[in-house]
Amino acid sequence: MRMRLRRLVPCAVLAASLTVCLTGCGGVDGGVRVEGKAATTIPWTGPVYMTDWYGRAWQRPTEVEATMRVSLDKLTWRDWGSSRARATGTSTDVTCLSGCPDGNPRSYRVNVVLSDPVRRGDVAFYSRMTLTPVHPPAPFWVKGSDDMDLGVPDA
| Nearest in space to 132 (alpha carbons), one of 143, 149, 146 | 146
Whether pTM > 0.85 for this model: the answer is no
Instruction: List, for residues 69-107, the tens digit of each pLDDT value.
Output: 889 999 999 999 999 999 999 999 888 888 888 888 889
Instruction: List, for residues 126-143, the tens digit of each pLDDT value.
Output: 999 999 999 988 888 888
Q: What angle do CA 71, 73, 78 make, to 5 degrees?
A: 120
